[in-house]
Amino acid sequence: MGWALVAGCSKAPEPAATTGNLYLELEPTVGTAPLVLGPTAYPTGNGEQFTISTFKYYLSNLKLQRADGTQYAVPDGYFLVDAAQPASQHVALHGIPAGTYTGLSFVVGVDSARNVAGAQTGALDPVNGMFWDWNSGYIFVRLEGTSPASATGRYKYAIMGFQRPFNTLRTISPGFGGATVAVSPAHEPEVHLEVDVQKMFVGLTPMRFATVYDSEGGASSVQIADNYAAGMFTVEHIHPN
Amino acid sequence: MSWLRVGLLASLGALVLNLLPAWRTGLGPTRQPVAVPGAPLPRQFGKPVYAPAQNPPNRSTFELGRRLFYDARLSADGTVSCGSCHQQARAFASPERLSRGVGGRLGLRNAPALQNLPWRRTFFADGGPKHLETLPLAPLTNPREMGTTLADVLAKLNADSAYARQFAAVYGRRPISSYQLLRALAQFTAALTSAQSRYDLHVRHAAGGHFTAAEQRGQALFGAKCGSCHATDLFTDGSFRNNGLNRRFAQDSGRVVVTFLAADRGRFAVPSLRNVARTAPYMHDGRFGTLAQVLAHYDHGMVESPTLDPVFRGPGGRLGIPLTAAEQRDLLAFLATLTDEAFCQAPDFADPGRRAGEAAFAGKRTARSSRAAVARR
């Protein structure tokens, strides 16, 4: 009871400037097919088949670009998006200064500072299964499942590492395709993004389970990160609302 | 506004009063404030990486961390606590060659000493963990160590009413979270300061710090032949080096598993040598049972490998650090001065569930046997 009171009183007064909300809807796909966890088999795009049991990733350091070249950085935002938790695929950004935005950028993963900042809460709580303990740091993208092409029948891609030369942090700037997003108290736009898992396998370095069925940092994680940085996230459409 | 503040203070006061009984039922002392062990920080170690301001020490949190450290119930089968391998009488190292975890499973490495941890940037022989607070996640979840999951540990803690009270008294918010668990554990491990050895008295010209002629010769030799790696008053430069233990490092390749860099194959953390006479066996795999064997290795036991540290390459392709028998005896005499009896016996660091004096007895026994081991040479 006392704590609720403290929390209520310590809250800063609402800023006078008008703000609004913006929502990101993240829709996982494999190519053009919607991603379904479980026994559904998908093609990698490199001649192999696979199923997906886990698909989780972090988004952080979100920034919204304005037409005049300035940007708004969403403060302290770390989002864990999990295909098994549909609610996590709706990212709500509150308190965005009213205005017209022309683009979006974000980091896939968790910035290097937070990887080594000790105990964390919320999305970064290690209880979420995205903290690698013996070589400490967050797993930025986790994709797991089965594939007949893998020697073990399974695969585990844990894309992580924030130190050179195997830094897998990637900043993504999916374009709005010339569209703009107006944020105001009257409009709560939704930006729908497709997140195409197939892009982890195709791209600069085609990934095959026959050769890489485990990636836990290092060179293969960098290759996969480079692949997904080149097009896993695309803006599908925008609801001005 | 002022009436609101008064109301706020009153409710905070009521909250604190409500929590007081929990303190009394906990294992921690009830008197406040009480000096927190490990404070003040020894100045000779320089600025800590993990400063007290990051997790301001207080006695109740320290006691909570201490209780967790010694609680075997946290492990998968209730048999292994942090303190099982990290034994106070041995400067929180393990006397077993390899650590022994749940189900009697053998680990891959010798459990290292825990001391002066806030001054370290990385942990483990390979430097994998990079923060003192998140370090315990590795032994908790390693199937060869405590073999559990973070979720299971939290479920056990939340189901235990004594823990629930003790955590609530410290953090005020339920349920017990990983954040609370890790921060409390870090208060205990950060407090494990060892800076009261005879060596420390000697360099401060304090009473009890007299060195024998052999110890003085050993100190000079140490500075000349060991001090470039076992540097500063922490007795490590914090680097990773290959000290010629293997040709291929097939069993344990060291730092390369963390960095993926070929140059790091066979490199291991340079350990602090504080309390080294207590922390046998030695090396990441516990292969040497005595310090005499360690010195013999440096003198004539090293083997070639591509990443062998250049510091060990002598003229004419000779590997190692030449040490005469007399020099080795003097070095052993000096290394024994790094033992911090007060640290190894401090009641504050002992298992709160054990009878008082038990840890001290174990410490004396170890001191006797290590003295005997030195005397035999």
A17 falls within a domain: no
* Average of per-residue pLDDT across A230-241: 94
Please write the tens of the pLDDT for every residue from A80-112: 999 999 999 999 999 999 999 999 999 999 999
Best mutation target, A136, A159, A215, A216, to test chain B (most B CBs within 10 A): A136
- All residues of chain B having their beta carbon less than 8 Å from the beta carbon of residue A5 are 7-8, 11
Nearest to B141 among A115, A133, A219 (CB): A133
Q: Per the structure block, which two tokens stand in for A45?
A: 């795009």
| Confidence band, pLDDT 50/70/90 cuts, at residue B16 | very low
Give the mean pLDDT of chain A.
93
**How far off is chain B from A218, nearest CA to CA, in Å?**
6
Report CB contact under 8 Å: A9, B8.
Answer: yes
Is the confidence at residue B373, as pLDDT, over 60? no
Give the mean pLDDT of chain B.
88
Q: Three-state SS string across B299-335, please?
A: HHHCCCCCCECHHHECHHHCECCCCCHHHHHHHHHHH
Q: Following DSSP, what letter does each residue of A160-214 receive, concatenated?
A: E--STTS---EEE--B-TT--EEEBTTB--EEEEEEEGGGGTSSSS---TTT-SE
Nearest to A6 among B8, B138, B177 (CB): B8
Contacts of B97 (CB under 8 A, 6+ apart): B110, B281, B285, B286, B287
| Confidence band, pLDDT 50/70/90 cuts, at residue B36 | confident
Q: What is the largest CA-CA distance in chain A?
A: 61
A9 falls within a domain: no
Please write the tens of the pLDDT for every residue from B218-264: 999 999 999 999 999 999 999 999 999 999 999 999 999 999 999 99
* Average of per-residue pLDDT across A1-27: 63
- All residues of chain B having their beta carbon less than 8 Å from the beta carbon of residue A9 are 4, 8
The full set of domains in chain B, from first to last, is: 17-34+56-190 (1.10.760.10), 198-376 (1.10.760.10)
Is the confidence at residue B148, as pLDDT, over 60? yes
ipTM over 0.95: no
Contact A132, B134 (CB under 8 A): no
A175 falls within a domain: yes
A212 falls within a domain: yes
Report CB contact under 8 Å: A118, B182.
Answer: yes
Q: Which domain holds residue A176?
A: 26-239
Q: Which residue has the tokens 């990698």?
A: A44
Q: How far apart are CA B102 and CA B79, in angstroms?
A: 6
| Domains in chain A, number | 1
DSSP 8-state symbol, B204: T
| Confidence band, pLDDT 50/70/90 cuts, at residue B38 | confident
A113 falls within a domain: yes
Contact B319, B308 (CB under 8 A): yes
Contact A156, A134 (CB under 8 A): no
Q: What is the pLDDT of residue B183?
A: 98
Q: What is the pLDDT of residue B355?
A: 55
Strand spans (E) along chain B: 240-241, 268-269
Q: What is the pLDDT of residue B34?
A: 57
Task: Using CB atoms within 10 Å of the CB of residue A130, give its burial: 0 to 12 exposed, 13 to 18 middle, 19+ buried.
Answer: buried
Chain B: residues touching A (Cβ < 8 Å): 4, 7-8, 11-12, 14-15, 54-55, 124, 126, 128-135, 137-138, 140-142, 150-151, 154, 172-173, 177-179, 182-183, 186, 257-261
| Confidence band, pLDDT 50/70/90 cuts, at residue A156 | very high
* Average of per-residue pLDDT across B334-340: 98
**How far off is chain B from A1, nearest CA to CA, in Å?**
8
Question: Which residues 55-84 in chain A show a CB within 8 A of chain B?
Answer: none
| Confidence band, pLDDT 50/70/90 cuts, at residue B18 | very low
For B18, name the nearest residue in chain A, comparing CA atoms only.
Answer: A2
- All residues of chain B having their beta carbon less than 8 Å from the beta carbon of residue A217 are 260
Q: What are phi and psi of B145, to 5 degrees?
A: -115, -105
Q: For the CA atoms of A79, A83, A85, A89, what is the dihedral angle to 10 degrees? A: 50
Q: Is A87 on the interface with B (CB under 8 A)?
A: no
A1 falls within a domain: no
Confirm whether pTM is higher than 0.90. Answer: no
For B141, name the nearest residue in chain A, comparing CA atoms only.
Answer: A133
CA A144 from chain centre, in angstroms, equals: 16
Please write the tens of the pLDDT for every residue from B39-76: 889 999 999 999 999 999 999 999 999 999 999 999 99
Q: Is A113 on the interface with B (CB under 8 A)?
A: no
For A222, name the nearest residue in chain B, comparing CA atoms only.
Answer: B260
Q: In sequence order, what are the beta bridge partners of A216?
A: A158
Please write the tens of the pLDDT for every residue from B187-226: 999 999 999 999 999 999 999 999 999 999 999 999 999 9
Best mutation target, B50, B167, B178, to test chain A (most A CBs within 10 A): B178
Q: How far apart are CA B11 and CA A6, in angstroms?
A: 9
Q: Per the structure block, which two tokens stand in for B17?
A: 């009063």
**B44: closest CA among B180, B249, B200?**
B200
Q: Which residue has the tokens 């046997």?
A: B369
B90 or B354, higher pLDDT: B90
Q: Per the structure block, which two tokens stand in for B287?
A: 């292969």
Q: Per the structure block, which two tokens stand in for A199?
A: 């892009």
Q: What is the pLDDT of residue B2?
A: 41
Omega within 30 of 0 (cis) for the link into B57: no
Q: How many CB pairs under 8 A join A and B?
A: 84
Report CB contact under 8 Å: B11, A218.
Answer: no
Nearest to A136 among B131, B142, B173 (CB): B131
Report CB contact under 8 Å: A218, B12.
Answer: no
Please write the tens of the pLDDT for every residue from B92-146: 999 999 999 999 999 999 999 999 999 999 999 999 999 999 999 999 999 999 9
